[in-house]
């Protein structure tokens, strides 16, 4: 977030509001939206949160300095519509932060088939990295991008969630150690077998 130190942020698919809370602590003006009423209600105790579909955002054009969307696109049909809406509400000199699962890796693809939902949200769209990048490139200009294999994380998440609660799982030492190992592996494999894509982008200005 060093590109924009202050400003308005829209967190699309904000869930329980964890990222909203982190942004608020850093001084950003945060708005969240989630289609799940119960999660949006929980997040509303932290920030200004609406219940709604990210393919029809209830905000005016060019409203936000930053839009974030993290692990959301694979839960919706026609994710291009969500990207169109994000492009509409982001300021012309704004930013998009995206983290998304991609299915280039066979291990991750198999794990997802074995566990095809997250907190009851089904996987509705399966994307490969090249397809996701193509969708983004027609609407945004890439500033930075990175990948993470995520295989060990997802394997640990599938197995670990059978043992302890997901909230504890996200914050336990084993999860941190698994993520550390993946970063080292990613340096060797150079993202060729990645199952997560992360990028910072800017909206393309329509002439």
| pLDDT, tens digit (0-9, with 9 covering 90-100), for 49-94 | 999 999 999 999 999 999 999 999 999 999 999 999 999 999 999 9
Question: Looking at the domain assignment, is residue 16 inside a domain?
Answer: yes
For residue 12, being part of any structural domain is answered with yes
Whether 1 is in a domain gets the answer: no
Residue 126 pLDDT: 93
pLDDT in tens, 145-195: 877 667 777 778 778 877 877 667 777 888 888 888 887 877 787 666 678
CATH number of the structural domain spanning residue 100: 3.40.50.150
For residue 35, tell me if it sits in a domain: yes
Whole-angstrom distance, CA of residue 157 vs CA of residue 154:
5
H or E element in which residue 145 lies: strand 140-148
- Number of folded domains that form the chain: 1
- Two tokens, residue 155: 């394997």
Handedness of CA 145, 67, 82, 20 (dihedral sign): positive
Residue numbers of the domain that contains 178? 8-203
pLDDT at residue 149, rounded to an integer: 63
In a domain, 128, yes or no: yes
Dist CA 19 CA 173 (whole Å): 20
Is 169 within a domain? yes
How many CA atoms within 13 Å lie on the side-chain side of 65?
12
Query: pTM (2 decimals)?
Result: 0.83
């Amino acid at each position: 977030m060093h590109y924009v130190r202050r400003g308005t942020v829209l967190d699309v698919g904000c869930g329980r509001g964890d990222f909203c809370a982190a942004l608020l602590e850093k001084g950003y003006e945060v708005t969240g939206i989630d289609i799940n009423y119960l999660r949006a209600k929980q997040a509303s105790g932290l920030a200004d949160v609406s219940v709604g579909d990210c393919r029809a955002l209830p905000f005016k054009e060019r409203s936000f300095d930053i839009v974030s969307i993290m692990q959301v696109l694979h839960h919706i049909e026609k994710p291009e519509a969500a990207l169109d809406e994000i492009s509409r509400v982001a300021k012309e000199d704004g930013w998009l932060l995206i983290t998304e699962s991609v299915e280039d890796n066979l291990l991750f693809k198999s794990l997802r088939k074995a566990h095809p939902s997250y907190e009851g949200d089904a996987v509705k769209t399966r994307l490969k990295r090249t397809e996701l990048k193509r969708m983004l490139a027609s609407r945004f200009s890439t500033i930075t991008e990175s990948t993470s294999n995520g295989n060990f994380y997802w394997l640990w998440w599938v197995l670990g969630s059978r043992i302890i609660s997901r909230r504890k799982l996200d914050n336990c030492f084993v999860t941190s150690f698994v993520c550390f190992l993946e970063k080292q592996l990613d340096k060797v494999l150079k993202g060729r077998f990645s199952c997560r894509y992360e990028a910072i982008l800017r909206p393309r200005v329509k002439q």
